[in-house]
Structure 1
Amino acid sequence: MGGEDEAVESVSGGCSRAGKRRRLWKKMKSQLVEYHALPGYLRDNEYILRHYRPEWPMKQVLLSIFTIHNETLNVWTHLIGFFIFLALTIYTAMKVPKVVDLNTLQHFPDLHKLQSELLTCLPSMPDFHKIRDELRTTLPSMDMLPSISSWHVKELLYNCLPERFSSANHTDSCVLHSVKEDLANIIAPLMIRPITRWPFFAFLGGAMFCLLASSVCHLLSCHSERISYIMLRLDYAGIAALISTSFYPPVYYSFMCYPFFCNLYLGFITILGIATILVSLLPVFQSPEFRTIRASLFFGMGLSGAGPILHKLYLFWGEPEVFHTTGYELLMGAFYGIGALIYATRIPERWMPGKFDIAGHSHQLFHIFVVAGAYTHYRAGLVYLRWRDLRGC
Structure 2
Amino acid sequence: MQTELSSTTDILVDTTGDDLHQHMRSMSDDVMIIKPEVKTHRRTASLRQRLENAEQLVHKFVTEAEQVAEQAVIKLCTEAWHVCHFNALPKWLQDNDFLHRGHRPPLPSFWVCFKSIFRLHTETGNIWTHGLGAVLFLCLFVYTFITFKDHYTYVDRLMLAIYFCGAITCLSFSTVFHTCSCHSREVSKFCSKLDYCGISIQIIGSMIPALYYGFYDNHAMYLTYITFGVILCIISIVISLWDKFGEPKFRPLRTAVFLAFGLSNVIPGIHWFIVLDSHLFSSFLLFILQGLLYIIGALLYVVRIPERFFPGKCDYWFQSHQLFHILVVLAAIVHLNGINGMVEMRLNVNQLSI
Q: TM-score normalized by structure 2?
A: 0.74
Are 2:103 and 1:52 equivalent residues in the alignment?
yes
Q: CA deviation at 1:26?
A: 11
- Give the aligned residue type for 1:352: F
Distance in 2 between residues matched to 1:326 and 1:291, nearest whole Å:
30
Q: CA deviation at 1:330?
A: 0.6
Are 2:167 and 1:212 equivalent residues in the alignment?
no
Aligned residues: 276
Partner of 2:12: none
Describe the superposition over 1:16-62 as per-residue Cα deviations: whole angstroms up to 9, x where unpaired. xxxxxxxx999867532111111111111110111111211312212
Call closer, same or farther: CA 1:63–1:193 in 2, change over 3 Å: closer
Partner of 1:256: 216
Are 2:193 and 1:245 equivalent residues in the alignment?
no
Are 2:311 and 1:353 equivalent residues in the alignment?
yes
Partner of 2:120: 68
Describe the superposition over 1:365-385 as per-residue Cα deviations: whole angstroms up to 9, x where unpaired. 000000000000010011011
1:249 and 1:384 in contact (8 A); partners too: no
Call closer, same or farther: CA 1:27–1:246 in 2, change over 3 Å: closer
- Give the aligned residue type for 2:107: W
Q: Secondary structure at 1:197's aligned position in 2?
A: helix
Call closer, same or farther: CA 1:356–1:28 in 2, change over 3 Å: farther
Q: 1:232 aligns with which of 174, 192, 198?
A: 192
Describe the superposition over 1:145-174 as per-residue Cα deviations: whole angstroms up to 9, x where unpaired. xxxxxxxxxxxxxxxxxxxxxxxxxxxxxx
Greater Rg over alpha carbons, structure: 2
- Give the aligned residue type for 1:350: R
Supply the RMSD in Å over aligned alpha carbons. 2.0
2:173 and 2:194 in contact (8 A); partners too: yes
Distance in 2 between residues matched to 1:333 and 1:25, nearest whole Å:
47
Give aligned-pair identity as a percent. 36
Determine which structure has greater relative contact order: mean sequence separation of CA pairs < 8 Å that are 6+ residues apart, divided by chain length: 1
Are 2:323 and 1:370 equivalent residues in the alignment?
no
Q: CA deviation at 1:193?
A: 6.0
2:170 and 2:195 in contact (8 A); partners too: yes
Distance in 1 between residues matched to 2:138 and 2:153, nearest whole Å:
26
Distance in 1 between residues matched to 2:289 and 2:301, nearest whole Å:
18
Distance in 1 between residues matched to 2:328 and 2:144, nearest whole Å:
21
Distance in 2 between residues matched to 1:377 and 1:358, nearest whole Å:
29
Q: 1:34 aligns with which of 76, 79, 85?
A: 85
- Give the aligned residue type for 2:106: E
Distance in 1 between residues matched to 2:276 and 2:294, nearest whole Å:
26
Describe the superposition over 1:106-129 as per-residue Cα deviations: whole angstroms up to 9, x where unpaired. xxxxxxxxxxxxxxxxxxxxxxxx
- Give the aligned residue type for 1:381: I
Which runs of 5 or more structure 2 residues have no equivalent in the other structure? 1-74
Call closer, same or farther: CA 1:45–1:205 in 2, change over 3 Å: same
2:207 and 2:226 in contact (8 A); partners too: yes
Distance in 1 between residues matched to 2:142 and 2:163, nearest whole Å:
14
Q: 1:384 aligns with which of 333, 342, 346?
A: 342
Distance in 1 between residues matched to 2:79 and 2:303, nearest whole Å:
31
Q: Secondary structure at 1:384's aligned position in 2?
A: helix
Q: CA deviation at 1:308?
A: 1.4
Distance in 1 between residues matched to 2:169 and 2:339, nearest whole Å:
18
